[in-house]
Structure 1
Amino acid sequence: MTRRIPLGSPLQLLLLACSFALAGYAGVRLLAGDWLGVALWFVGAALIHDLVLLPLYASADRAVVRGLSATGRREWAMYVRVPAALSGLLLLVWFPLISGRMESRYELAAGLSTDGFPARWLLITAVLFGGSALLLVLRLRRAAKDRSPETH
């Protein structure tokens, strides 16, 4: 019995090869200038994620799941997880501008002010959680409608 190696379609393989080529090109360009600084940044980012951020958001997720389990609504956890993850990712990416730490550098480079970043991040976070709550309400309504007997 011969085992066939599971490969994707030719289009998938072509896209994968192109993405590897693009990543290789970006890596060569990135490492051409300050390769030691880039390597230290990657190592530092991995360590901070694994030693600081992962325990923080795992503990927060555990607290949310326990709190919802106590009320018998554990399945609602995804309606908190998704907006929290997206909001956290936006905070992580834009933290230097949200915190105001890079205000002068950003203004010199872009010619724009950093004044609106904290308010915009809070607004996006509110919209994410509001949209998630709305989706939960709509799904609960639909489930209640499906459970109720037809009255004709």
Structure 2
Amino acid sequence: MAEVRRAYGAAWWHLALLVGCFAVTGWIALRLAGEPTAGRMLLWFVGAVVAHDLVLFPAYATLDRLLRRAGPSARNHVRVPAYGAALLFGLFLPGVLGLGDGTYSAATGLTPEPLLGRWLVLSAVLFAVSGLLYAVRRLRHRGR
């Protein structure tokens, strides 16, 4: 086992887990290869990877560095609602941006117009609650 660790650079179970992940990924790729929309799915996947790695990651890493100056407590009170808002945005992206009107309407019988406003309100509530918690924590700390 020491030889595997020295040659691979990590524990044997890490290598086994990685091989298992590649096996599952290969199985999924084989299953999707016969789909008529496989090319579009691959294009969207590659586009999402490029957009995240070249645009989004540098942007939020830079913002996190700027927040680091405010201290760890304040940084976490901005991070949590920002992650929540980003997760909700990604989850409801077509509706928030007004894309796929026909699909959404056919599936639900509703229009996607209120989704942007609802996402903005929910994001504002997340930041407001986090700001309120931060203010309460600061006041408690100041009182001691």
Q: Give the alignment's TM-score, normalised by structure 1.
A: 0.66
Q: Which ranges in structure 2 are unaligned for 5 or more consecutive residues? A: 3-10, 14-19
Cα shift at 1:78: 1.1
- The equivalent of 1:111 in structure 2 is 109
Point out the structure with max Rg over C-alpha.
Answer: 1
**How far apart are residue 106 of structure 1 and its match?**
1.4
- Aligned-pair distance for 1:28? 6.6
- Distance in 2 between the 1:6 and 1:137 partners? 47
User: Structure 1 vs Structure 2: percent identity of aligned residues?
Assistant: 35
| Paired position in structure 2 for 1:128 | 126
Q: Distance in 2 between matches of 1:28 and 1:44?
A: 21
Q: Which runs of 4+ in 1 moved over 4 A?
A: 22-32
Aligned length: 131
Gaps (5+ residues) in structure 1?
8-16
Which residue type is aligned with residue 38 of structure 1?
M
Q: Return the letter of the residue paired with 2:130.
A: S
Q: Tell me, yes or no, if the aligned pair for 1:97 and 1:117 is still in contact at 8 Å.
A: yes
Instruction: Give 1:3-152 correspondences, 5 Å limit.
Output: 32-33=34-35, 34-65=37-68, 69=69, 73-75=70-72, 76-145=74-143, 148=144
- Which amino acid letter does the alignment assign opposite residue 74 of structure 1? G
After TM superposition, the score normalised by the length of structure 2 is 0.69
Separation of aligned partners in 1, 2:140 and 2:29: 49
Over the aligned positions, Cα root-mean-square deviation in angstroms equals: 3.1
